[in-house]
Amino acid sequence: MGKGKRVMVKEPKKKNRNRRMSNREIEQKKKVIKRTFFTIVALIVIFIIAMIANNYIILDNNERTNLVINNNNVTARLKNDVLIEDDVIYLSEADVQNFFDKYIYRDEESNKIITTYEKKIAEIGFDQNVININGSDKQIYAHAIEKDGEVYLPVSEMADVYNVEIQNIPETKVITMDSLDRGQKRAIVNKNVSVKSSTNFIARTVDRVKKGDAVIVVSDNGKYSMIRTANGKLGYIKSNRLENEFTIREDMEEEKQVEGKVNLTWDYFSEYASAPDRSGTTIDGVNVVSPSFFYLDEDGNLEENVGSKGEAYIEWAHNNGYKVWPMVSNAEAARESLDITSNIMNSYENRKKLIESIVEKCVKYNLDGINIDFENMYEKDKDMYSRFIIELTPRLKEIGMVTSVDVTAPDGGETWSMCFDRNVIGHVADYIIFMAYDQNGTSSTEPGTTAGYNWIKLNLTKFLQTEDIEAEKIILGIPFYTRVWTTDSSGKIISRNTLFMKDVNSAIPAGVQKTWDDDLKQNYVEYMDGANKKQIWIEDIDSLKAKVSLVEENDLAGVGSWQKDMESDDVWPMLKSELAEN
């Protein structure tokens, strides 16, 4: 091999580790150190603040009196401050309306506040320390007052009205109000512990409880319990810090008078007739009967049509397990003048007089409820009619009576349909009964069905959605009748004769064919009687079954049928079967 050239490899220069840092690098390093320092300091400060806040007890920090209703601090929702004068606690009328009685009312005639709640109606004035509860006067230590343009009620003197237990805790500026129909549990604290504002890792301490303290248990998720301390403070502790839980009171649930679906039938007889003799008979599946016992006369007084036959009727009904909700009608008064009903509705004293009469009748005859059937009223009296129902219902609840109210479809005239505030009635009364008939009645200008399925369904949607009524309060009224419409050759309506369901087939001439209308869910017949045309939209077992299907479809309370003795024999087994399936 030849001598090759020697290759010289140049080594890289070694980095000078000892070279001095530039001024720029020094400044950057200082900034990093400075940021790190301040971050550490900030974290320490945050930790210290959290620890302090976590253990700091705020007992007297309320700038305004706090109100706790049923273990909810509602202070932020108060429209006006709570007043405390001479140990009397006052809430503004607006706040009473918000928390207890949305229908609270000032009667200008008597200058009294009228308030209702569950089983109580109370009236309180502005100059005497007296409150009237369900018709009885009671001496109290205060009265309603006006301050800065606001009305205030002495709620600490009205605990019986709103069925609450009230406690004032001045040390912490907390007032608690607990409904006596709501359950309450207490437990014993087994260790000194801080009560936190939340279950978060870092949470403010709102109170401290000691071993052996009794606290109200609001809720328990297994790990944490929400409690209310003796100071009225709401907060959280670990569930294992509680023991010996005990019940102070149970939830009070109102029992329904009728189990399952309501199957009511109106048993009508005029004010000049007597109650029918039903002895020895039963009505299969029916659980409520509504005889026409009571009505307003032309002077606006409540008259009765009970007598010995009516008393026998009540005994027959009870012996067969039927509840008795008699009708209270304004029929006679309405026939005389709309003004008679109007005069009653627009006076608190007149409403109260009528209510006292109704209560007296309920007690006298051992009834189970009342069916209010007021029709033909002024539209302008709509709110005052609602007041009547608002004031009647608690009086009836007090004695265990059911309040049911009849209303028409929300699509008619002023005195027939627009005179009802269905939303209020449906909210206040136990039941609102939709009289789903006379879609085409005595005032109709064209022949038509009495109660078409599609019309009923449309109006039920209005009840449930537009009027916002709970389905479980709506009873669907169905007709046991139809009409025979007669028109002459010019198309003029000559007559609209009522035809009982049981008589339909005998009224139709032989050879006339029925045709089914699937929109109306009814059979229909049309035939000539000389030069006149006859038309019948038939109510039969098939049409009624279609209507009753709306009860299940909408989960309604049940049905009411107008009226007993118009029906065919196959109706009762059908209603019993259809309602039992719902």
Q: Which pLDDT value is given to residue 48?
A: 57
Tell me the CA distances in angstroms from 279 to 268, 381, 564, one per residue in order.
17, 41, 15
Q: Does residue 271 sit in the same domain as residue 381?
A: yes
Q: Does residue 208 sit in the same domain as residue 323?
A: no
Q: Does residue 336 sit in the same domain as residue 219?
A: no
Q: Which pLDDT value is given to residue 15?
A: 47
Question: Is residue 222 one of the residues assigned to a domain?
Answer: yes
Q: Does residue 228 sit in the same domain as residue 310?
A: no
Question: Is residue 425 one of the residues assigned to a domain?
Answer: yes
Q: Does residue 560 sit in the same domain as residue 462?
A: yes
The Cα 70–Cα 57 span in angstroms is 23
CATH number of the domain where residue 308 is located:
3.20.20.80
Question: Is residue 380 one of the residues assigned to a domain?
Answer: yes
- Domain assignment of residue 300, given as a range: 262-479+540-581
Q: Does residue 92 sit in the same domain as residue 226?
A: no
Q: Which residue has the tokens 């009547």?
A: 388
Burial class of residue 561 (count of CB atoms within 10 Å of its CB; 0-12, 13-18, 19+): buried
Question: Is residue 494 one of the residues assigned to a domain?
Answer: no
Mean pLDDT value across residues 184-191: 98
Q: Which pLDDT value is given to residue 43?
A: 66
Mean pLDDT value across residues 182-205: 95
For residue range 498-507, list pLDDT tens digits in order: 999 999 999 9
Q: Which pLDDT value is given to residue 221?
A: 96
Q: Which pLDDT value is given to residue 201?
A: 85
The Cα 509–Cα 353 span in angstroms is 53
Q: Which pLDDT value is given to residue 385?
A: 98
Q: Which pLDDT value is given to residue 54?
A: 47
CATH number of the domain where residue 111 is located:
3.30.457.10
- Is residue 474 within 8 Å of 434, Cβ to Cβ? yes
For residue range 59-99, list pLDDT tens digits in order: 446 788 999 999 999 999 999 999 999 999 999 999 999 99
Q: Does residue 119 sit in the same domain as residue 241?
A: no
Mean pLDDT value across residues 339-345: 96
The band of 136, judged by pLDDT with boundaries at 50, 70 and 90, is very high
Radius of gyration over alpha carbons of the chain, in Å? 37
Last residue of a domain, one of 249, 274, 304: 249
Say whether pLDDT at 11 is over 60.
Answer: no
What percent of the chain stands above pLDDT 90?
85
For residue range 247-303, list pLDDT tens digits in order: 999 999 888 999 999 999 999 999 889 999 999 999 999 999 999 999 999 889 999
Q: Which pLDDT value is given to residue 61?
A: 65
Structure tokens of 577?
Answer: 């079967």
Mean pLDDT value across residues 205-221: 97
HSE-up of residue 399 (Cα within 13 Å, Cβ side): 22
Give the Cβ contact number of residue 394 at 10 Å.
Answer: 21
Residues 6+ apart with CB under 8 A from 562: 266, 268, 435, 437, 477, 478, 479, 480, 481
Residues 466, 467, 470, 475: is their CA dihedral positive or negative?
negative
Mean pLDDT value across residues 295-315: 96
Question: Is residue 365 one of the residues assigned to a domain?
Answer: yes
Question: Is residue 409 one of the residues assigned to a domain?
Answer: yes
Q: Which pLDDT value is given to residue 298?
A: 87
Mean pLDDT value across residues 389-411: 97
The Cα 524–Cα 535 span in angstroms is 8
DSSP string of 156-175, one letter each residue = GG-HHHHTEEEEEEGGGTEE
Q: Which pLDDT value is given to residue 20?
A: 60
Last residue of a domain, one of 249, 270, 286: 249
pTM above 0.85, yes or no: yes
Q: Does residue 236 sit in the same domain as residue 267?
A: no
Last residue of a domain, one of 194, 220, 249: 249
Say whether pLDDT at 459 is over 60.
Answer: yes
The band of 57, judged by pLDDT with boundaries at 50, 70 and 90, is very low
For residue range 153-162, list pLDDT tens digits in order: 999 999 999 9
The band of 1, judged by pLDDT with boundaries at 50, 70 and 90, is very low
**What's the chain's average pLDDT?**
92
Q: How many domains does the chain have?
A: 3
Q: Does residue 266 sit in the same domain as residue 374?
A: yes
Question: Is residue 470 one of the residues assigned to a domain?
Answer: yes
Question: Is residue 440 one of the residues assigned to a domain?
Answer: yes
Q: Does residue 188 sit in the same domain as residue 162?
A: no
Q: Which pLDDT value is given to residue 117?
A: 98
CA 171 from chain centre, in angstroms, equals 37
DSSP string of 234-293, one letter each residue = EEEEEGGGEEEEEEEE----PPPSS-SSEEEEEE---TTS-----TT---TT--EEEE--
Structure tokens of 203?
Answer: 């949470």
Q: Does residue 214 sit in the same domain as residue 302?
A: no
Q: Which pLDDT value is given to residue 336?
A: 80
CATH number of the domain where residue 218 is located:
2.30.30.40
Q: Does residue 311 sit in the same domain as residue 440?
A: yes
